A and B are shown apart, each in its own frame.
Chain A
Amino acid sequence: MALILNEEARMVRDTALEFFRERSPIVALRKLRDDNDPDGFDRALWRQMAELGWTGFLVSEDHGGSAFGLTGLGQVMEAAGRTLAATPLLSTALIGASLLELAGTPDQKDEHLPPLVAGERIFALALEETARHAPLTTTTRADSAHRITGTKRFVLDGHIADYLIVAASDGLFLVDANARGVTRTRTIMVDSRNAAIVHFDNAQAEPLGSLSHLETVLDRARACLAAEMLGSSSEAFDRTVQYLKDRKQFGVQIGTFQALKHRAAQMFCEIEVTRSAVTAALSALDENANDAAALCSLAKAKANDTIFLCGNEGVQMHGGIGMTDEHEIGFFLKRARVAQATFGDSAFHRDRYAALMGY
């Protein structure tokens, strides 16, 4: 397992940091929100990301990808997290690409992977049915003719997807999002990112392998989401430390106060420890290591706690200005809550980690 980045991964990171800083700063997310943008993301930006090859990081060369791996995609996700960029990286470049690669038939791969890599086709995983992450409890089912019935919620990028990948009780299924019997309702989320409730009423589907691939792909999603959350935590933290240096009260910079210094130093420690966990998880996934599952739960649990800390302390240390919509620090707090709940909150991952560790 490698805990420091190689030259190639560092180059991806640097390119991605510059890309999101220039093309998708937080004002872009604010604009999508304030304009009630029907897509909730920028299609032109997504095509540029495809041109940079990021959509193909988990796709084999046969289908137009580079198979660069999870560590590489994690760097892009971390950079996206710094500017809270709203893109289908998680739903499509990670989950869609992974499930098609791992579970798809040769025909399905030929049909779907090239347009996915080109940035022309969006996928969404229809997984959750209850109010919290519970990947193994599904009441959605398919009949003998592969017609799906059930209701899925918190489907990330659900309303913009071209295809839905449905976790049903007897396997994974691929459904044309515009097929008869599919009803999608966009839900407006606190973080201004995309999610939907999707009803399936005898919707025609095709099988996409067994549920056994789901856990592998969820772990990939957890590790990469943890990378995104690490980016968001770091950015919220950097902005807060800068504010401690800029803001004056009682005639001095508020960063001179020990009550704030110590909490800032504690945030620094948590971010560094989280970075180690995230890098280890990504590296373990790339190497198919035996402890990859435990490391993914470790990374997500730490990323959850750290983004919670940095989001809340960020607002608190900014004081009154942190409560305003005009200031950007609040966007991090809002994103933190949603990211924490996605693919397992800390309680979920502590339970899973303990079980994997044999207690």
Chain B
Amino acid sequence: MTTPTTFRAETRAWLEENCPPAMRTRMPEEEQVAGGKRAEYIRPEQKIWLDRMAAKGWTAPTWPKKYGGGGLTAEEALILDEEMQDLGCRAPLRGMGLSMLGPTLLEYGTEEQRQTHLPKIISGEIRWCQGYSEPGSGSDLASLSTRAVLQGEHFLVNGHKIWTSNAHLSDWIFCLVRTDPTVKKHDGISFLLIDMDDPGVRPRPIKLISGKSVFCETFFENVQVPASHLVGQLNKGWTIAKRLLEHERKGIGGIGARQQAKFELPPEAVAKMHVGEIDGRIADPVIRDHIAAYSIDAHAFQLTRRRAAEEAESGAPPGPLSAMFKYYATELNKRRYEMLLEGEGFQGLGWEGEGFSEDELRFTREWLRSKANSIEGGTSEIQLNIIAKRVLGLPD
């Protein structure tokens, strides 16, 4: 068995040798690698870096080796993460296959489903998207009405999903569908894997306030899905749905633990640049005070994340802390962008073109994008409901 110290040294050496220098720079959003059949690599190093990491199973460090994962312990995965942060390595691959579907299949999938899907998620060959929300089912997700009728060996699927992030670039979609409309809403839902190659699946991008179109709506018209693509039991999909949401919220709640933090401009640096400084202090005392208030909360939250990790490592059962991460991290991230824009003044108001730096224009778009953080994956209000019910035991 390798000791943590040896593992750290070996990992460091491997990363230094295998991570191309171009992949140790700040990653612009358009250079994020999400894989899939339609993946485009702006720089060749992106693909090289992905293939090298995937070959070691380190795109999914803790997944079992038999599916192509890294087989690392939680502690080793943390060391890998720390060393990547320290070197400024980009994440080689991101996506809903890695962050949500994979962990769910490991828990609920059949052996055949795992063998079929996990290796292609790890290698970046297949890109997944999420079919959860519907136009009439947002916070009240369980009221969803996309219908799947079992007809012999197939489900026949008809319906309309929305906020299906990057559906137009994805190959497969995991969907919540109604398989029994006659029972209580939570008891008639199933979890289905659907190949988007079927011509009955039509994604349509939606233009957002940030000017981008990462979200789509996706229509299903008489789509035939093999019965073997059902995950878990028929009509028992809600339990799986909630479990997957926990993975999703953990991912969104991870915003505060910034990958590539070493390349980031903190709000205080931006404020110094635009407001000016006196004796090393931000010249405007009110803006300085606002930024300090934000930074204190962000620092205390970062310590809370570490405390939760230490609790988990000590073998204590998962405490109530995890319930607050999604809420707190997303509210903080929104505040962070408000602080950046407050510090920038007029320079934080540009949309495109001349008169603004690349960072200034980026912050405008990211500021708008951040508003989705407290909506997607369960709104802040839903998170507060969950804390009130599960942690505080307040009555319904």
Contact = CB atoms under 8 A, between A and B. Distances in A.
Contact of A279 (B269, B307, B328): B307
A357 interface: yes
Query: What is the interface residue range for chain A against chain B?
Result: 35 or more
Interface in B263-307: 268-269, 271-272, 277, 280-282, 288-289, 291-293, 295-297, 299-301, 303-304, 306-307
Contacts of B321: 272
B300 A264 contact: no
Interface string B136-160: 0000000000000000000000000
B174 interface: no
A269 B297 contact: no
A357 B291 CA distance: 11
Contact of A269 (B291, B292, B306, B324): B324
A279 B393 CA distance: 26
A148 interface: no
B268 A276 contact: no
Given A302-B296, A359-B282, A2 B310 contact: yes
Among A252, A268, A354, chain B packs the most CB atoms within 10 A around the CB of: A354
B394 A350 contact: no
A23 interface: no
B241 interface: no
Given A269-B324, A273-B297, A351 B292 contact: yes
B391 interface: yes
B314 A262 contact: no
Interface stretch (B87-95, B197-205, B379-387): B379-387
B309 to A, nearest CB: 9
Given A255-B395, A350-B289, A274 B300 contact: yes
Given A4-B311, A277-B303, A347-B289, A359 B384 contact: no
Contact of B394 (A3, A244, A351, A357): A244
A249 B307 CA distance: 39
B289 A241 contact: no
Contact of B387 (A252, A268, A276, A350): A268
Given A261-B385, A265-B387, A276-B303, A354 B292 contact: yes
A276 B385 contact: no
B382 to A, nearest CB: 10
A355 B385 contact: no
Given A3-B307, A274-B300, A359 B272 contact: yes
Query: What is the interface residue range for chain B against chain A?
Result: 35 or more
Nearest to B272: A359
A354 B278 CA distance: 13
Contacts of A353: 292, 295-296
Given A269-B328, A354-B281, A4 B300 contact: no
A256 interface: yes
B296 A265 contact: no
A217 B121 CA distance: 55
A272 B324 contact: yes
B300 A302 contact: yes
A3 B291 CA distance: 25
Given A265-B392, A301-B296, A3 B381 contact: no
Interface in B45-71: none
A298 interface: yes
A359 B266 CA distance: 11
A254 B300 CA distance: 31
Interface in A307-359: 347, 349-351, 353-355, 357-359
B327 interface: yes
B220 to A, nearest CB: 34
Contacts of B301: 273, 276
Given A4-B314, A277-B303, A255 B384 contact: no
A4 B292 contact: no
B391 A268 contact: yes
B392 A241 contact: yes
A273 B328 contact: yes
Question: Which 9 residue pairs across A and B have the least CB separation, nearest first?
Answer: A265-B387, A261-B388, A3-B307, A350-B292, A276-B303, A359-B268, A276-B304, A265-B384, A354-B292
25 contacts: A2-B310, A3-B306, A4-B314, A245-B395, A253-B395, A255-B395, A256-B395, A258-B381, A261-B392, A264-B392, A265-B388, A266-B384, A269-B324, A269-B327, A269-B328, A277-B303, A350-B293, A350-B296, A353-B295, A353-B296, A354-B288, A354-B291, A357-B268, A358-B268, A359-B292
Given A253-B395, A279-B303, 8 more contacts: A3-B310, A241-B394, A252-B395, A262-B384, A277-B299, A359-B268, A359-B281, A359-B288
